[in-house]
A and B are shown apart, each in its own frame.
Chain A
Amino acid sequence: AQSVTQLGSHVSVSEGALVLLRCNYSSSVPPYLFWYVQYPNQGLQLLLKYTTGATLVKGINGFEAEFKKSETSFHLTKPSAHMSDAAEYFCACSGGYQKVTFGIGTKLQVIP
């Protein structure tokens, strides 16, 4: 079985500040990890994904995430928040024959 935990259902940052959204996973097999973004009343869009290889993954809109096996973490970061980053972010995990499991989401508020 696999699971995904996103710490903090709501995160607020000032415009220009560092964005850090936390994700921890549990998987009995090597995981594939994803971050998706959702704007209000829209579907989800892939930000980035980790499958194998380089543990630091760069995505769209200046986001990146680092896979840390020892910490079972895949935290999402962005050096400088922009107002347009305000959205809900979902971490997801899949592996082996397991279908993807999503976290409960983190709503990011950007304060001007």
Chain B
Amino acid sequence: DGGITQSPKYLFRKEGQNVTLSCEQNLNHDAMYWYRQDPGQGLRLIYYSQIVNDFQKGDIAEGYSVSREKKESFPLTVTSAQKNPTAFYLCASTKGELLDEQYFGPGTRLTVT
């Protein structure tokens, strides 16, 4: 079955450490996205990529970095510069158009103490 996988489901880190969240898709989609979800705030866009080797900042990119070396992979690094990294992180993809419906992964819950 085609879909998006995110690993791990739960991740715990100490403050000051960088951490990388994995996102892989086998849908052959061109565009991929990272969102952060906090209670009562909906989904906020961190970064998105429409093609390999290219990505754009979203609304809350500070303290995060991404890479897109392969079409199927879009890892997100939460750096120590991110002030409040504890959150639920969702990866999504679309066929290519910004207007398309988004397919979501199951999410990674990151807790930083």
Contact = CB atoms under 8 A, between A and B. Distances in A.
Contacts of A32: 99
A36 B98 CA distance: 16
A104 B43 CA distance: 7
Contact of A90 (B4, B43, B58, B88): B43
B99 A95 contact: yes
Interface residues of B, number: 22
A46 B23 CA distance: 19
Nearest to A43: B104
A34 B101 contact: yes
B64 interface: no
Interface in B69-113: 88, 90, 92, 98-99, 101-107, 109
A44 B107 CA distance: 9
Given A104-B40, A104-B41, A44 B99 contact: no
B34 interface: no
A40 to B, nearest CB: 10
A105 B43 CA distance: 9
B98 A97 contact: yes
Interface in A1-59: 9, 32, 34, 36, 41-46, 49, 51
B55 to A, nearest CB: 13
A90 B101 CA distance: 13
Interface of A: 9, 32, 34, 36, 41-46, 49, 51, 90, 94-95, 97-100, 102-105
19 contacts: A9-B40, A42-B106, A43-B92, A43-B105, A43-B106, A44-B92, A44-B102, A46-B101, A51-B99, A94-B99, A97-B98, A98-B98, A99-B48, A100-B99, A102-B42, A102-B43, A104-B41, A105-B40, A105-B42
Given A34-B102, A43-B107, A95-B99, 5 more contacts: A42-B106, A44-B102, A45-B104, A90-B43, A97-B98
